[in-house]
Amino acid sequence: MDDIINGVVADFQSDLEQAIDQFSEEAQELQDDGLSYDQILAALGVLSIADYILQDLRMQGAINRYMAGIDSIFQGKALFGQMTQTEVLALRNMFNSSISNYIISLGDEIRYTVASGIGRGLKLPELKSLVKRNLSLLPSATERHIATTMATFSRAITVSMLQTAPNTRLVYVNPLDDKTRPVCKSMLAAGSMTAEEVERRFPGALVDGGGINCRGSWEAVSVDKGVQGKAQKLTDKFKKKPLTIQQYYETRKSS
């Protein structure tokens, strides 16, 4: 899972840097065309930031790559409990909505910072530099958000499966490196535990892992062959066609 997250983070940061550059360049063009600060501010104020950052600045591609990573995480899990396609689709749509809203919020940060820079009389190189120093747009901030949400998705799948297999023994899987928190090291050392034991020893860790920016996941020690067979059918179906809400209901009507 760590490799998947690292790949998505790298792509996301590259996409965001390009979006910042293009936003700054287009704002500079308004200055070059002779618009006053008030006119530029008015133009930025009425800008539909969602349409602009997702379509014009092509950050929709970042959403698509993030969701491909989410799909890869799901497809790589050993499914020990029963999940319906509705449950998987609902989780996927929630994370799709979350990353979309996050990117739109980053667009607002870019817009505000660009407006501030133009008001200070900054030209293109200084304007780009100012935007990239915005705390919300720093690589460390975007990495934290992407890593946290993708690992949370993995843990959410585990929690969902526990509804039908509550006594499954779980182990904590997490990279062991200089980023690993003491609590994550403790969970790694704890060995196999049931969900009840996890909650007793590490309250909240089933969902939150070790906290913000945690890359850990809870995985089953062993999987019942019958359950795994049913789960594999769902995984195969999901691999073939991650459904939208409309496609899901169309499929149900025709089945």
- pLDDT at position 175 is 84
Give the C-alpha separation, 190 to 201, whole Å: 9
What is the residue-averaged pLDDT of the chain? 87
- pLDDT at position 204 is 94
Q: Residue 1 pLDDT more than 90?
A: no
- pLDDT at position 211 is 87
* Residue written as token pair 């060995």: 191
Question: Which of 142, 138, 160, 140 minimizes the C-alpha distance to 150?
Answer: 142
Angle between helices 85-119 and 60-76 (to 10 degrees): 150
Query: Alpha carbon 127 to chain centroid distance?
Result: 28
- pLDDT at position 246 is 46
What are the structure tokens assigned to 38, written together?
A: 């008030």
Which residue range forms the structural domain that includes residue 35? Answer: 2-254
Mean pLDDT of 213-232: 68
- pLDDT at position 179 is 81
| Structural domain total, the chain | 1
Question: Which of 208, 201, 199, 129 minimizes the C-alpha distance to 174?
Answer: 208
What share of the chain in percent tops pLDDT 90?
73
pTM: 0.84
- In tens, the pLDDT along 10-46 reads 999 999 999 999 999 999 999 999 999 999 999 999 9
Mean pLDDT of 184-198: 93
- In tens, the pLDDT along 106-143 reads 999 999 999 999 999 999 999 999 999 999 999 999 99
pLDDT band for position 215 (50/70/90)?
A: confident
